[in-house]
Structure 1
């Protein structure tokens, strides 16, 4: 079976099975097994064992359950509510200030949690009722939470950077550093849009009531103390990675212990919260690993069958400027992100695209962050944007899917602006890795 036929058969059956509602992990895993057997017989079953062993043998993978547990434990500690109140009293006097506070909260939570689902859910439970009670436009309130929560893809310790790094062999620490600049850029674009929109249209996001604005300065300063624990935790985890003191796996262990300490300090550490955190961690990590295992088997069969080389040669030999090839790859990622799980996309396509990008002369670290920038758009993209459904699950019943779809459109435009800026000015991504490596 030639690589051209293999490509057509594997990917056509891949989309057919997904259209029939077969879960992604079972689709990729079963197709990988079937085609491996057709190509090489029963001896090919060793591919399954070897690929899964390679993944499980990677020390970096231990960071995933530890960071997920850290996020779940911090969620149980109730720290997010105090964070929101501390930020809101400082910026709530501005038109759109509460929505801007939501973006800031999402950014801080992303740096503590590393997963989009928890970020959107926590912020939705805290900030959405608060904005609705103060007369915020529905689309402004919903959009700020959905877009802000998606920053979890970029802001370290992003689980997506860990999956990407393990898949292609890129330094996870460098990916974390590379995500800082775009994360701040995207958050800044969202806040600038919110404040500008609400300045010219006060009904979109009115300033906080006068009684909420007249908080004594001493109390405002005192409320900042609620930022101390999470900031110390973030600095401890990220600082140890950026400073070369600890690997991501080791730093994740410190973060998990730090989250337990935070819960204890806040008198929220009990058997119920600990058991629930462990249970949620097991569910989340189990889902991630099954998707990774299935995709690894699929891509191993496809690569050994010559399919990956066929696609790579086709892209490299195109009579196009390297930048046009890069744009084509990003368009593929944007399209697939609308219909597929982004972990599956990462494991399936990153091993195919990275050699192409390297041969075209682009920085592989820069592309790794750009890869995730494109997939961040997927969290907002109708019809299957995960952030949309995360918020729908905790929003009031009268919030419709149409409301959510309309609310994300301006932010998707801002995401594309951010991607273009990171293409034109690659130092947005590379400045911190270059600085820390020196």
Structure 2
């Protein structure tokens, strides 16, 4: 049997197991272990074992539970809710001001959390009711929350970039820095679209009436203080890291401590908050560790089969694609897979094939990590089965229909595609900051 046929059978087996409803890491790990035993006999059992040792010996893995814990503390303690109240008052006079405030909130949550699901949950529970109450168009509301929450996997401390770094064996610190400007670029593009759209169509996002914004100066100053805690947390994570005071692992520990201090200062660090945050952190961290171990096992089998060279031969020799053509084909495949799978699943399935090929073709794997992450953001919002579409449907009230949700993402997907094209044409948008920082 040819290596190509073996690779095809592995993918087919994986898809069949996923269709039956098996847990993702179990399906991937089983296919990897079974394939290695069938191909190389008893010695093949060493592959999953070695993958586990590689995972446990990888020092930056310590960042994963700490950043997840930090995000859950912020969510449970209500610090994000305080921040949105501040945007409500200070950005309300602008047409589409609450939508703009939601984007800024999502950027702040991304810089404190690193998970898009957290942004979606916070946006749906805090921003969505406020915008609905004030007559915002349903499509504007849904699109803003979905697009804004997707920034969570781009802006550091991005958990997705940490996972990419583990699987691709690239420095997480460089990936984080590479995600800063692209993430902010997308946020600015979203904000410009909202401003222009609400200026041309005021009914899409009406400004708040003056009576809602009139309040004593002392009350406004108190609200302004709500932004201090998030700034303190963001500085403790990325600020100290950028200054060279802390390394990657230390910054995650400092961030977790800062989140606890902020919750304590607010008087919200209760036993219940800690219990919920620790319980959720343990569950999510264990899930990610199993997924990474399964991915490493799967990748080891593919490396042994020489599948990377087979894919390269298919794209370049058989199809006659240029290196840029290969890159575009990869991005399109991510978008198709994103209609059915989440970002971690996509990364596990194709990273063992694509990342070595990207390096062979002469592309920067750190820059490609940013392209992969933006493509995941687009795939999250692509019908029919985009991950964010169904999260939004599950969290939104009945008056926001699935067709509203589908229609709402069209302009934002176009904006994100334009952003992806810009970063492909001008790689320095992603590479400038890590090059500058590590040149010191």
What range is the shorter-chain TM-score in?
over 0.9
The answer as to whether partners of 1:312 and 1:353 remain within 8 angstroms in 2 is no
Shift of the alpha carbon at 1:305? 2.3
- Structure 1 runs not aligned, ≥5 long: none
Instruction: Provide the aligned C-alpha RMSD in A.
Output: 1.7
Kept in 2, the 8 Å contact 1:114–1:155? The answer is yes
TM-score, scaled to structure 2? 0.95
- Conserved 8 A contact 1:295-1:344: no
Find the aligned partners of 1:286 and 1:147 in 2 and give their Cα distance. Answer: 28
Which string of whole-angstrom CA distances, capped at 9 and with x for unpartnered residues, describes residues 334-371 of structure 1? 11122122112223322322222223222222112111
Moved more, 400-409 or 68-77: 400-409
CA distance in 2, matches of 1:398, 1:297: 45
Q: Take 1:284 and 1:387, find their aligned partners in 2: how far apart are those partners?
A: 18
What is the 5 A alignment of 1:187-206?
187-206=187-206
State how many pairs are aligned: 438
Moved more, 282-291 or 59-68: 282-291
2: CA distance, partners of 1:157 / 1:275? 23
Report the Cα distance in structure 2 between the residues aligned to 1:360 and 1:261, rounded to whole angstroms. Answer: 47
- Aligned-partner SS, 2:146: helix
Q: Could you tell which deviates more after superposition, 200-209 or 244-253?
A: 244-253
Q: Which residue of 1 aligns with 2:404?
A: 403
Alignment of 1:265-280 (within 5 A): 265-280=265-280
How far is the alpha carbon of 1:116 from its aligned partner?
0.8
Match of 2:178? 178
Q: CA deviation at 1:47?
A: 1.1
Cα distance in 2 for residues equivalent to 1:321 and 1:5: 25
Cα distance in 2, alignment partners of residues 243 and 3 from structure 1: 48
Aligned residue for 1:203, secondary structure, equals helix
Structure 1 residue 215, shift from structure 2 partner = 4.3
Asked if the contact 2:308–2:357 (Cα under 8 Å) also holds between the matched residues in 1, the reply is no
Q: Which residue of 2 aligns with 1:252?
A: 252
Gapped runs of 5+ residues in structure 2?
none
Aligned partner of 2:419 in structure 1 is 418
Distance (whole Å) between structure 2 residues aligned to residue 352 and residue 281 of structure 1 = 30
For residue 435 of structure 1, what is the aligned residue in structure 2? 436
Give the equivalent residue in structure 1 for 2:242.
242
The change in CA–CA distance for 1:290 and 1:403 in structure 2 (over 3 A counts) is: farther
Tell me the equivalent position of 1:54: 54
Aligned to 1:158: 158
Aligned residue for 1:117, secondary structure, equals helix
Deviates more, 1:123-132 or 1:346-355: 346-355
User: CA 1:249–1:315 in 2, change beyond 3 Å: closer, same or farther?
Assistant: farther
- State the Cα distance separating 1:95 from its structure 2 match: 1.2
Q: Distance in 2 between matches of 1:396 and 1:341?
A: 24
Contact 2:77 2:269 in 1 (8 A): yes
Q: For 1:322 and 1:299, locate their aligned partners in 2 and report how far apart those are by CA, in whole Å.
A: 22
Task: Quote the residue 1:342 is aligned against.
Answer: 343
Deviation at 1:218, TM superposition (A): 5.9
Residue 326 of structure 2 is aligned to residue 332 of structure 1? no
Cα deviation per residue 1:25-67 (whole Å; 9 max; x = unaligned)? 2221111122111101222112111102211221111111100
TM-fit CA distance, 1:399 = 2.8
Instruction: Supply the distance in 2 between the matched residues of 1:307 and 1:353 (Cα, whole angstroms).
Output: 10
Secondary structure of 2:202's partner?
Answer: coil
The C-alpha deviation readout for 1:160-201, integer Å capped at 9, x for no partner, is 010011111111111111111111111111111111111111
Checking the alignment, whether the CA contact within 8 Å between 1:357 and 1:364 is kept in structure 2 is yes
* C-alpha contact (below 8 Å) 2:342/2:380 kept by paired residues: no
After superposition, the Cα gap between the structure-2 partners of 1:111 and 1:265, relative to the gap in structure 1 and judged at 3 Å, is: same
Shift of 1:313: 4.0
